[in-house]
Amino acid sequence: MKHSAIAGLFITAALLASPVFASDEDLCASNIQALNDAITTAPATSDGALENAKAALANAQKSQASGDHKACVAETTRMLQKIQNRDPANKG
C-alpha cells in the first residue's frame, strides 16, 4: 500500500509541478523520470501492465533521442495517467 501511495505521489508531483510554460524538452525529461520512478516503485501489478509501461518508457526515450519531444510528452503523459488511474490508492 505504501509503495502505491509513493508511486501516486511521484506521478502527481510530476504532473502538477510542470509549469504551463515548460518546454516540451523539459516536460519530456521530467515525465521520463516520473515514469521510470513509477516503474521502479510499482506495486505488484499484472505483467502486462508493467510491460506496457516499460514499452512506453522505451518509446519515449527513442522520441527524446530523435528530438521529437512532442511525441515523448504525449507517450509519457498517457502512460502516467494510466498508471495513476490504475493505482488502488486513488480509488477513494
DSSP one-letter code for 87: -
How many other CB atoms are there within 10 angstroms of residue 64's CB atom? Answer: 21
47-80 pLDDT tens trace: 788 899 999 999 999 999 999 999 999 999 999 9
Per the model's pLDDT, the better-predicted residue between 60 and 85 turns out to be 60
* Confidence at 86, pLDDT banded by 50, 70, 90: confident
User: H/E element holding 57?
Assistant: helix 47-66
For residue 83, pLDDT over 60 is answered with yes
Write out the DSSP string of 1-28.
-HHHHHHHHHHHHHHHHS-TT--HHHHH
21-42 pLDDT tens trace: 558 889 999 999 999 998 888 7
Tell me if 53 sits within 8 A of 79, measured CB to CB.
yes
Q: 0.75 cut: is pTM over it? A: no
Q: Is 15 exposed, middle or buried (0-12, 13-18, 19+ CB in 10 A)?
A: middle
